[in-house]
Structure 1
Amino acid sequence: MFNGKRLSLARKRQRLTAKELAERASVSPVTITRLETGQNQADPATLDRLAEVLGYPGTFFFKEDPALLSSEIVSFRSLSSMTAKERNAALAAGDTGVELYEWLESHYNLPHLDLPAFDPGLTPEAAADALRQHWGLGYRPIANLMKLMEAKGIRILGLEESTANVDAFSFWQSDKAYVFLNSFKSAERSIFDTAHELGHLVLHRHGETSGADEDTRTAEIEANRFAAAFLMPEEDIRVRMPRLITAELIVRAKKRWRVSAMALAYRLRHLPKPMLSEWQYRAICIELGKRGYRTAEPDTVGRETSILWGKVLTELWSERKSLESVAAQLSLPIHEIEKLLHGILPRQEGGNPGPHTPVKLVT
């Protein structure tokens, strides 16, 4: 039976209003509304036009209900800066990502989730320390945060949204933890984004993160505090950083914790017992800005990629299969699978692995 919720998902993923879809498919807006609400069934001719306009296989519209994520459970950075189309497209990407991981779980043994529920009264810094101890990290730097999180059962995917308003988000769905990352930032800032979303999963699993503006701002600040403490533990910072701190020292030292120069300077200023005065912090920020560290990250560390998906694609290649075979099994267009893996795949010699031919990854 034709599923109107699937039509709504595909339309929103393509950032189309019901009116825009109706115009492109040469049907009335009322027809789209009736189809999406289940009042009507699509006749073959209408279905063919809708599938062609949206770029989805016709079989997609006969699948069971999608997850239908809501903005209340997804950790969007700022709903006020997002258009309705951007929000809906990102939520649709989340729905598709859930389905992709359900397929993955049915074909492979995935790591079990190891993300305990801590006391909601913990400060972000205390929660970061508790998670480090639970995972047996101590206070040493984390060599590869994405690899660590995947090993702990957190489901990570990419985004290709072509907008700075949707750079990363996370959510809980059916007791599974998901993180979606946009790779348009530097490697260091992407790592911080990853830790930021981990903070949301740890701190805000009991409540909403995208409610009122004030609640959203509070949640964002808490996630940033968690990320800073998780990536740059105070104990390690104090042991490694000397008393006399300069911009040049920060540029060299940031590589230890794989963070941006600005993030390290901010951390040094905002420790419980700051290692930088306000005057020193401002002077260092000005110097780092002159060197280009405010808008970019010269001499960047290597970008983290997904170990899990690298192994999956290697296995597909060994079976002479490609991402197209996965898309076909899920009744999805190949470009939607590509978007979900954008920026998180290991690079092949000569560029990114192509989805339309068997894939072999360099390990």
Structure 2
Amino acid sequence: MQFNPARLELAMDRRRFTARALAELADVTVVSLSQIKTGKQLPQETTIRRIADALEYPPEFFYGNDFDTLPAEAVSFRSLSSVTQRERNAAIAAGGIAYLVSDWLHSKYTLPKANFVDASPERDPATAARALRQTWSLGEKPISNLIKLLESKGIRVFSLAENTKNVDAFSCWRNDEPFIFLNTFKTTERSRFDAAHELGHLVLHKHGGSNQGLQAEAEANAFASSFLMPLADVISEMPRAHSLKQILHGKKRWGVSAAALTYRLHKIGLITDWQYRTFNIQLRSAFKNSEPDSMARETSTLWKMVLEDLWGQKLTRADIAKELNIPHGELENLLFGLTASSDHPPSKNSNVKLSLV
């Protein structure tokens, strides 16, 4: 199998390397590297090893087949205006590696299939959120573990350890398989809202509408708010809110930030404009940018089950990375924050169904 220039492009994007920086580290000329990237020059084995060492990727990675990449227009970035091109390319490249990992999962296990409603024609966020809750038999009850719920409905959830605040989260469809990528450095409440926001993009913008721009972001936010904090339940539990203490108590029920609950109460008319401003001032004064009484980190049920099964076969995450010829660190990045308790077996009551192929 010959050297694959597309894989060199992906590895460079993941490391955020310019051609000049890589050429200097790998001791090749910029002209030669450019010809290698475009497929005009077939590199010698020694050159490939120097490039692999500079990028900290196994040399075998560059001999792999072509792989699916995430089309830039199909990926929704929350803070599109502040994301640099290099950050954007690195995140999209992480999605390409996630596709490799997902294909490996499919080859070993039978995974839940996507179970969705297509709300693209109507595009009303609140109606779409209610319809999806009905399809998933959630009723009006709060969602205790959102990641587990998404996985059980056929959504592939990966984390983004990008070490940047500019990449909040993003989502995309790969054929009929939905993916969500989360920045798991955030608080659990913020990460849950990000996940629900991206779920909104998957539901509202799969067909016939851009998932980028101010309108799409507003629609996804409205979907997330309605999905996590159903109108009837909020009215039933908090018909009146007279103090910040009530807000802090209520946020625990729906697993959202105090700011998100305050916004929801104001949006549906349960608090006045004056109360909304007052509560926000109190939150900033008391907690600044931190989340009061933040909930425990949510983890992946699906990956816990996979890792438990592999452990029974005396295999580890490092073995998965070796089989895929990717750096162990890349796999760790995709699972970071999702498998914090992977040394414990999954709950027997888990609704994520997983079986060997």
TM-score bracket relative to the smaller structure: over 0.9
Percent identity reads: 47
3-state SS, counterpart of residue 93 of structure 2 = helix
The alignment status of 1:241 with 2:249, answered yes or no, reads no
Q: How does 1:1-363 map to 2 (within 5 A)?
A: 1-206=2-207, 207-210=209-212, 216-271=213-268, 274-292=269-287, 294-347=288-341, 360-361=343-344, 363=346
Q: Distance in 1 between matches of 2:301 and 2:242?
A: 36
SS at match of 2:298: coil
* Number of equivalenced pairs: 344
CA distance in 2 between counterparts of 1:186 and 1:236 reads 24
Scaled by the length of structure 2, the TM-score of the pair is: 0.93
- The superposition leaves residues 45-79 of structure 1 with CA deviations (integer Å, 9 ceiling, x where unpaired) of 11110111111111111111121223211111133
Residue-by-residue CA offset, 1:269-294 (whole Å, 9 max, x unaligned): 112xx1111111101111122221x5
More divergent stretch after superposition (252-261 vs 76-85): 76-85
Query: Comparing both chains, which one has the higher relative contact order based on Cα–Cα distances under 8 Å and sequence gaps of 6 or more?
Result: 2
Cα distance in 2, alignment partners of residues 100 and 218 from structure 1: 33
- Matched position secondary structure for 2:87: helix
TM-score by length of 1: 0.92
Q: 1:304-348: CA deviations, max 9, x gaps?
A: 110000111111111111111101110101011011101111326
Query: Compared with structure 1, are the counterparts of its residues 78 and 297 closer, same or farther at alpha carbon in structure 2 (3 Å cutoff)?
Result: closer
Partner secondary structure for residue 328 of structure 1:
helix
Give the Å deviation of 1:30.
Answer: 1.8
Say which is worse superposed, 253-262 or 109-118, in terms of deviation.
109-118
Match of 1:355 in 2: none
For residues 127 and 247 of structure 1, the distance between their equivalents in structure 2, rounded to whole angstroms, comes to 31
How large is the RMSD of aligned CA atoms in angstroms?
1.3
2:304 aligns to what SS in structure 1?
A: helix
Q: What's the offset of the Cα at 1:244? A: 4.3
Amino acid in the other structure paired with 1:236 = D
The amino acid that maps onto 1:166 is V
CA drift at 1:116: 2.6
Give the structure 1 partner of residue 351 of structure 2. Answer: none
> Residue 355 of structure 2 aligns with which residue?
none
Unaligned 5+ residue runs, structure 1?
A: 211-215, 349-359
What CA distance in whole angstroms lies between the structure 1 residues aligned with 2:83 and 2:216?
Answer: 17
For residue 119 of structure 1, report the CA deviation from its aligned partner. 4.3
User: How many Å separate the matches in 2 of 1:252 and 1:33?
Assistant: 58
- Asked whether the equivalents of residues 67 and 95 of structure 1 are also in contact (C-alpha less than 8 Å), the reply is yes
After superposition, the C-alpha distances for 1:96-124 in whole angstroms (9 at most, x for unaligned) are 00110110010011111112322422311
